[in-house]
Structure 1
């Protein structure tokens, strides 16, 4: 309980109280459990006071001196603490919801498990403060100083930390869902296992940050600096990292699926076993980056620079590699299934023993041995201008001709034409169709095969006699070029008459 003399004195006014404190500076005020709600206590000296359990709801403590005071279990909801000095104060578990703490000094203050919901801490100084497990959801912490603050498991969801200084702060397992951290300083802060889902970090300084296994799905990191950051196993799916600087960052085994990495600096970055499926890496720099066994399938790598990068065992299936620089890149065992590239894709001095043209280490090229100088580029350039159509148990050539003609009309820019026909054994026939570069071969392949299947169904019994001219047995007896010539001698009248 409060000292009755101290309680009577404080209610007589701030001037009398401060004069008494000056004269009796060694006395410790005891205002525990006192009801001081709605009082005007601006500028009061409560240094070292016992305010345990005190009711300060709605009290105006602007400019008050509360350093070293014990306010544990006190009630401070809606109090005014603008510019107050609460350094080294014990506010453990205190309800400070809706309080105004703008420009307050809270250095080394104990605020663990405190309630600061929608509190205003604009420009407050909380360096070295302990806010672990506190609830600051929807609080305004813009331009707040939180250097080396402890925010372990703290709830900062929907809070405003714009321009805040969190240098070397501990935020492990903190909840920063939809928090505004734009232009904040989080350099060397530890956010391991933190939740930053849909957080706004654009323009933030994240150099040396630790985000191990943090969840940043849907966050905005546009233009942020993450140099030398630790983000291994982080969830960055759908994150906007365009124009960001990730030089020498550790992103090993991270999830970057559908992330925006356009014009991003990833020089010397560790992306081993990272998932980048569907990511946009247009004009990004991966100079000297390590992407060993990373998944870049369906990724836009147009005009990206991979000079001297490690792309061994990388999945590049259905990726877009137009004008991509793969010079001096290590590409052994990479998968290029349906990758889109052309002669603007650079392979100068590429280091590569072999690649796969199908996923799951299928269709090794070369089938034996190693590539000679220039063979890789020539193979992939040729492959990029060819659609391989595989037929089992023969081909209905009339249906094929009609289907091809139809697709030629749909894709005139593809400039398609039969390149060669091969008998692969066991009744399998491979038809290679030449195309112009820069087309979506996977889509054209799908549409052509679908057109063939649908057309074949329409043919009656008379069409089957046409197929017999090109059985697997007849293919074995003829020169491939003779087959092509004979095929089109037979098909041209039919093709020309097709609608």
Structure 2
């Protein structure tokens, strides 16, 4: 109860009261439970006064010194305390509802258990204040200094905290629903389990803040800085994240269903296991983001940069990936069903073990991509760039591979059953261990490819280019090798073959009966180490060839130049294969041989005309007789080809010499 003497002095006015306080500084005034309502105490000195449970309703206390005063339980509702000094005061349990405390100094004061609902605390200093169990609903705390204040267990719903200083404040499990925190510096703040639903955090700084398990449903996070913040397990359904900076934030298992993340910066953000189903991510930046195991089904990712992103085991079914950059991305084990990947840049990404069956990759860039063990059955790879791609163990059965570039790709142990490989470039491709049984590889370019341990039984290799191809330990039984093209670099070691056909429709069987003995296939087809092929597309005049070959030997040496084989091709064409030294200039030998042949051919034609004095038809008949391979074979039978060439060439040389005289 207030001391009557003190209360009487107080009622005499501010001037008398302040004078008495100065003269009796050793006395602590007691105005407890006094009714001081509607009193004008503006600019009064009430420091350290005892005013517990006093009724100060409607009192003007603006710019009053109440530092250290005891106002516990006091009724201060609607009181003007603007710019008042309440530092260190005891306001526990006080009723301050609707009071004006703008720019007041409440540092180190005790406001625990008080009622501050609807109170104006804008610009006030609440540093280190105890606000535990305080009701601050609807209060204006804009620009308030709340650093190191105790807000545990308080109700802040509907509060305006825009621009407030909350450094060092523990807001874990605090109800901040619907409050205004726009533009507030909340960096490093602890919001674990807090209720921030429908809260306005636009433009706020939440860098490094801990928001794990927080409720952010419907929160306004536009242009908010959430770099390096922890948002794992956070509920963000309906939150506005437009242009929000989430670089390096932790959003593991966060719920972002249907979220609008237009142009949001998610660089190096951890979104593993998050739910982004149906979210609009157009223009968002995901460079280096961890999206492993994330649900992105039905998501619009058009125009998004996903380079170097981890999307392993992510659910991307029916997502829109048109025009996006996926270079360097890890998509291993991802669900891409129903996704249109046509003309997409997938260069260098990891799709190992991914189910891509029936996928549309028309015109896509899959160069240097890891597709090992992937399921591409029935996929459309028309015109796709797969150069240097790892397709080892992949399932390509029934896939459309027309116009696909496989140069340098690794297709070892891949399943290509039922695929159409016409027009496909397989040069320098690793095809080891593949089952090509019954496949049509006609006209295929297999130059430099690895087909070791390949099953080519009953395959068709008509006019196939196999220069420098590795067929080691391949199975050629029943294969058609009509006009296939191999060279000395083609490897035919340890071939498994019972018989082959040199013509289509199983014609020209080799051997004609029985089976090849071990090594016979290689001996039959293996080219010499160094050869030059002389091609005579319009037939050959053997006399002219023998004469030109003699002169060629004279230049290069008989020991360095010999005929390995003579082949008759379709349409009257001939191929004469010469063995040459390894160091020889094969292009120069071929050029010179053809040049000499033309010289000798022209000389012989002059002789034919002089001797026969015949018409062109007779000359053509005579030349045809000279070009008859059967006549040549009869002349060469049972005699070494080198001796035949020498003897015949000399005879022709003498004949020509006589004619020239």
C-alpha contact 1:239 1:258 (8 A) present in aligned 2: no
Would the alpha carbon gap of residues 88 and 341 (structure 1) be closer, same or farther in structure 2, given more than 3 Å must change? Answer: farther
C-alpha contact 1:89 1:109 (8 A) present in aligned 2: yes
1:349 — aligned with what? 348
2:299 — aligned with what? 299
Is 1:207 paired with 2:207? yes
Structure number with greater CO (CA < 8 Å, separation at least 6) is 1
Would the alpha carbon gap of residues 68 and 262 (structure 1) be closer, same or farther in structure 2, given more than 3 Å must change? Answer: same
C-alpha contact 2:348 2:367 (8 A) present in aligned 1: no
Would the alpha carbon gap of residues 331 and 380 (structure 1) be closer, same or farther in structure 2, given more than 3 Å must change? Answer: farther
- For 1:83-105, what per-residue CA distance to the aligned partner results, in whole angstroms no more than 9, with x for missing partners? 01111222222211111111111
1:255 — aligned with what? 255
Cα distance in 1, alignment partners of residues 379 and 332 from structure 2: 19
Cα distance in 2, alignment partners of residues 49 and 110 from structure 1: 15
C-alpha contact 1:91 1:111 (8 A) present in aligned 2: yes
Cα distance in 2, alignment partners of residues 284 and 81 from structure 1: 49
What's the TM-score once normalised by structure 1's chain length? Answer: 0.71
2:216 — aligned with what? 216
What's the TM-score once normalised by structure 2's chain length? Answer: 0.54
Is 1:282 paired with 2:282? yes
Aligned residues: 377
C-alpha contact 1:154 1:173 (8 A) present in aligned 2: no
Offset of residue 119 of structure 1:
1.0
C-alpha contact 2:347 2:368 (8 A) present in aligned 1: no
C-alpha contact 2:79 2:96 (8 A) present in aligned 1: yes
Offset of residue 23 of structure 1:
2.7
2:79 — aligned with what? 79
After the TM superposition, which segments of 4 or more aligned residues of structure 1 sit over 6 Å from their partners?
none
Cα distance in 1, alignment partners of residues 377 and 60 from structure 2: 74
Offset of residue 258 of structure 1:
1.7
Would the alpha carbon gap of residues 283 and 155 (structure 1) be closer, same or farther in structure 2, given more than 3 Å must change? Answer: same
Is 1:170 paired with 2:170? yes
Offset of residue 381 of structure 1:
12
Q: How does 1:234-249 map to 2 (within 5 A)?
A: 234-249=234-249
C-alpha contact 2:247 2:268 (8 A) present in aligned 1: yes
2:127 — aligned with what? 127
C-alpha contact 2:352 2:370 (8 A) present in aligned 1: no
2:197 — aligned with what? 197
Aligned with 2:355: secondary structure? strand
Offset of residue 375 of structure 1:
7.3
- For 1:297-348, what per-residue CA distance to the aligned partner results, in whole angstroms no more than 9, with x for missing partners? 12221222222221111111121212222211111111112224431x3212
Offset of residue 177 of structure 1:
1.7
C-alpha contact 1:33 1:51 (8 A) present in aligned 2: yes
Give the gaps of 5 or more residues in structure 2: 361-365, 383-399, 401-661
C-alpha contact 1:341 1:384 (8 A) present in aligned 2: no
Offset of residue 203 of structure 1:
0.8
1:55 — aligned with what? 55
Give the gaps of 5 or more residues in structure 1: 366-370, 386-418, 420-499
Cα distance in 2, alignment partners of residues 383 and 141 from structure 1: 62
Q: How does 1:261-410 map to 2 (within 5 A)?
A: 261-343=261-343, 345-357=344-356, 373-374=368-369
Would the alpha carbon gap of residues 320 and 112 (structure 1) be closer, same or farther in structure 2, given more than 3 Å must change? Answer: farther
Aligned with 1:356: secondary structure? coil
- For 1:158-200, what per-residue CA distance to the aligned partner results, in whole angstroms no more than 9, with x for missing partners? 2222222222322122222221211112122222111111111
The Cα RMSD (Å) is 2.7
C-alpha contact 1:309 1:330 (8 A) present in aligned 2: yes
Aligned with 1:355: secondary structure? coil
Would the alpha carbon gap of residues 12 and 314 (structure 1) be closer, same or farther in structure 2, given more than 3 Å must change? Answer: same
Cα distance in 1, alignment partners of residues 322 and 19 from structure 2: 79
1:46 — aligned with what? 46
